[in-house]
A and B are shown apart, each in its own frame.
Chain A
Amino acid sequence: MEILYNSGTLLIILGLPFFLSGTVGLIRFPDIYTRLHALTKADNVGLGCIVCGLALQSASWAVTAKLLLIWLLVLIASSASCHLIARSAMQKNIQPWTRP
């Protein structure tokens, strides 16, 4: 039990840098498309780590299932809204930033 709990903690700690770097990317990256990359990928992996960590720590299957459901929902939602934003940006003729 102790091992499970501690590896859960490790997973949560692993997830935190993803969130922070997602925000750094959102601030630092040069255009809307690259920012979308940062936002969707980093945050989803971060949330995945935290969800898995909490699932390892929780004693009940019900909580684990609900956590996984939340993650799945966030995954679907963020990839769909990411695609929507990118598509609208393309349709509005917003040119992607390229290396000078």
Chain B
Amino acid sequence: MIRDHRFVKDFTFVSFSPQFFFRILVFSTVWFVLTGSDISSWIVGVPAVLIASKLNLMLAPSSHYSISLSGALRFVPFFLNQSFRGGIDVMRRALSAKQLLNPGLVSYVTLLPEGSARIFFVNTISLLPGTLSAELHGNQVTIHTLDRGLPIWANIQNLEYHVAALIHISSDKKKSL
């Protein structure tokens, strides 16, 4: 579904698809941040950016969805807030004299499409309060939790909703899946 044979076939740099252009933009920004404003660094930078963009496009062919700007703008504060709470939660459990842990495993079936969206979802689970993604089999995620009393399902569903908003999937489409 997500693998697109088009990108395996052409090796030329001629095809400036929007995805290729987007990658060039991202890698150029990274290069600029790394090297600063020195113009001569682009002697190495331009080939490096081009090669990185092409390799990225070939190794991780872009999927059919694109990143929504408004989704990203809403995701960042959500993520910062959640991971801060996660840090506070761990701090509380680590420093309290009483044993506050009540760990367990929870299974969750995700509706997110296969590929980068799902991987992104699985990786961000680990930064949420009290949850850690332990295994991913198809669409089933095994989650380890620090406290079985936490509202894990609600938290994960909320995260899933935010990731879906990030990649332009409406909630109606999610329901139909």
Contacts and interface: CB of A to CB of B under 8 A. Distances in A.
Given A62-B37, A96-B144, A41 B86 contact: yes
A65 B33 contact: yes
Given A25-B94, A83-B122, A98-B104, A62 B135 contact: no
Interface residues of A, number: 41
Contact of B33 (A41, A42, A69): A69
A55 interface: no
B87 A46 contact: yes
B115 to A, nearest CB: 16
Interface residues of B, number: 38
Contacts of A91: 135
B124 A79 contact: yes
Given A48-B83, A83-B126, A25 B134 contact: no
A82 B132 contact: yes
Nearest to B94: A25
Contact of A44 (B87, B93, B142): B87
Contacts of A66: 33-34
B123 to A, nearest CB: 4
Interface string B77-110: 0001001101111110111000101111100000
Task: Give the secondary structure class of A's interface.
Answer: helix
Nearest to A23: B94
B33 A62 contact: yes
Interface in A15-69: 17-18, 21-22, 24-25, 28-31, 33-34, 36-38, 40-42, 44-46, 48, 62, 65-66, 69
Given A24-B94, A37-B132, A99 B33 contact: no
B61 interface: no
Nearest to B88: A45
Contact of B136 (A28, A29, A87): A87
B104 A44 contact: no
A1 interface: no
Given A18-B87, A29-B94, A42-B94, A99 B101 contact: yes
Given A25-B93, A75-B127, 12 more contacts: A24-B94, A37-B132, A40-B132, A41-B126, A44-B127, A69-B30, A76-B123, A82-B132, A83-B126, A86-B132, A89-B134, A98-B104
9 contacts: A25-B90, A41-B83, A42-B90, A45-B87, A48-B84, A62-B37, A65-B33, A79-B127, A98-B102
